[in-house]
């Protein structure tokens, strides 16, 4: 007797959707039954695509009684939220790559799915082709994970890598990245850290088994990072990366954030370059592990989406409660730390008048703000008789560092605060 094929509905046939469709053609037990697209007339580089599958009405997918699994691959908040909840009401399981929706309305969606005894899988939403969600939920389930540090956005990592190797400005590299298709025409979601913030919100929720509210995640992008900072970091033994991090402090509070960091060259993350992503987890009993690989792209992301589809397909018809380990059970909301209450090490670049006593004055302001200085380096005297001075602090409070920055900005001997970047410790 021929086994019934699992029928899939795709919403979205862009880069990821195309990769998913092509990959699914290699599985005999899977059939793509309907595909919703924005523009039916768009020419697509997909051999032997059956045009009868295509619709520009996504509700033809979620309301189709024959479809078992709906893959939402369009991103954004709406209509994705309504499409997913409608599909769940209609008895369908969900695979999604929608990091923004999960970060902002994940609680509602997962609760809704549980009420209807449906599964939502989302491996592709965090780090493209890198398997991280299922390992945390299964193989690493016996660990108490207390720290996550990750590079979760290929666009920003590409820009920072090119700035480093070419000694180029942010603006020049951004234009190059846009010309090559690595950055969008409007790159805000990537370069201002939104994309990475969406991802670390969900990743921290999984790792800590407590729900993280997106509005409690501190976010800072890479637009202020300069070529001069790259060189200074290299001279000090660091690389600058956009790091998405989450850790539990000694009081059980979650410190979740995205911002540029000086990463020591001895660290694995310092050597994750171009569009590659990586996730480092620290916990007990595993210790420290890092998973790295392609974080975006047609086939790497399709790998994760298809893996989720096959995980659901394997259990359809075998149980009334699919994939219990992959479901969302934690109800507790994490108590999150405000960035001003955190303690960090800092790299500070100042442009100052080339006068006697300036170095001492910098040290005095730091001391008055309860900041100990690890090093102060003056490299060059510029033509206008000013000097760029690099300060590395010891670990100190964020609020004290911000007070020091304000004091430097008001000081008569400091012309400009060029950069303030946190240092990984």
Q: Which among 7, 34, 99, 199 is annotated as catalytic?
A: 199
Hunting for tokens 């209807």 — which residue is that? 116
Hunting for tokens 């609760």 — which residue is that? 111
Report yes or no: 275 and 226 within 8 Å, Cβ to Cβ.
no
Please state at what angle helix 398-410 crosses helix 358-368, rounded to 10 degrees: 140
Report yes or no: 200 and 213 within 8 Å, Cβ to Cβ.
no
Q: Please, which contacts does 399-402 make with residues 24 or more away whose CB atoms are closer than 8 Å?
A: 399/340, 399/341, 400/369, 400/370, 400/371, 401/344, 401/346, 401/369, 401/371, 402/340
Give the pair of three-digit tokens for residue 339.
């960035």
What are the C-alpha distances in Å from 240 to residues 18, 254, 412? 34, 24, 30
According to DSSP, the β-strands at 386-393 and 343-353 are antiparallel
Report yes or no: 263 and 254 within 8 Å, Cβ to Cβ.
no
Tally of CB atoms within 10 A around 222 = 24
Give the pair of three-digit tokens for residue 124.
């592709």
Give catalytic status of residue 199 as yes or no: yes
Cα 267 to the chain's mean position, in Å? 19
- Name the residue among 286, 315, 291 with its Cα closest to residue 304: 291
The Cβ-side half-sphere exposure at 319, using a 13 Å CA radius, reads 11
Dihedral (Cα; 191, 197, 198, 199), 10-degree rounding: 100
E strand residue ranges, 178-286: 218-219, 238-248, 254-264, 276-284
E strand residue ranges, 323-394: 343-353, 373-381, 386-393
Distance in angstroms (rounded) separating the CA atoms of residues 415 and 350: 8
- The string over 63-87, giving b where at least 16 C-beta atoms fall within 10 Å of a residue's C-beta and e elsewhere, is bbeebbbbbbbbbeeeebbebbbbb
Distance in angstroms (rounded) separating the CA atoms of residues 176 and 170: 10
Coil vs helix vs strand at 320: coil
Catalytic residues: 199
């Amino acid at each position: 007797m021929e086994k019934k094929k699992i029928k899939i509905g795709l919403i979205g046939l862009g880069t990821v959707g195309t990769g998913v469709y092509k990959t699914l053609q290699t599985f005999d037990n899977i059939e793509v039954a309907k595909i919703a697209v924005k523009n039916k007339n768009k020419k697509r580089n997909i051999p032997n695509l059956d045009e009868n599958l295509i619709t520009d009405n996504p509700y033809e997918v979620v309301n189709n009684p024959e479809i078992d699994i709906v893959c939402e691959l369009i991103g954004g908040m709406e209509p994705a939220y309504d499409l997913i909840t409608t599909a769940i009401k209609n008895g369908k399981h969900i695979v999604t790559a929608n990091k923004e929706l999960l970060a902002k309305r994940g609680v509602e969606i997962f609760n809704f799915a549980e009420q209807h005894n449906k599964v939502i899988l989302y491996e592709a939403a965090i780090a493209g082709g890198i398997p991280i969600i299922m390992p945390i939920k299964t193989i690493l389930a016996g660990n108490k994970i207390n720290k996550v540090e990750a590079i979760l956005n290929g666009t920003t990592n590409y820009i920072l890598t090119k700035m480093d190797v070419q000694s180029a400005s942010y603006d020049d590299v951004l234009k190059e990245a846009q010309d090559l298709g690595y950055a969008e025409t409007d790159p805000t979601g990537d370069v201002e850290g939104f994309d990475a913030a969406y991802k670390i919100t969900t990743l921290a929720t999984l790792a800590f088994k407590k729900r993280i509210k997106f509005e409690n995640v501190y976010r800072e992008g890479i637009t202020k990072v300069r070529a001069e900072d790259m060189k200074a970091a290299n001279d000090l033994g660091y690389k600058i990366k956009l790091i998405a991090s989450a850790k539990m402090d000694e009081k059980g509070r979650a410190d979740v954030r995205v911002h540029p960091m000086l990463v020591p060259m001895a660290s694995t993350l310092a050597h994750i370059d171009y569009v590659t992503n990586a996730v480092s987890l620290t916990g007990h009993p595993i210790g420290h592990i890092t998973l790295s690989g392609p974080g975006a792209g047609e086939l790497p992301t399709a790998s994760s989406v298809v893996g989720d589809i096959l995980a659901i397909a394997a259990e359809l018809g075998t149980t009334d409660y699919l994939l219990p380990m992959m479901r969302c059970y934690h109800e507790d909301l994490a108590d999150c730390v405000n960035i001003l209450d955190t303690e960090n090490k800092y790299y500070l670049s100042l442009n100052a008048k080339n006068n006697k006593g300036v170095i001492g004055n910098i040290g005095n302001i730091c001391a008055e703000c309860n900041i100990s200085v690890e090093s102060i380096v003056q490299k060059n005297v510029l033509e206008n008789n000013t000097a760029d001075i690099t300060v590395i602090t010891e670990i100190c409070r964020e609020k004290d560092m911000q007070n020091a920055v304000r004091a430097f900005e008001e000081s008569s001997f400091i012309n400009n605060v060029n950069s303030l970047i946190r240092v990984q410790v």
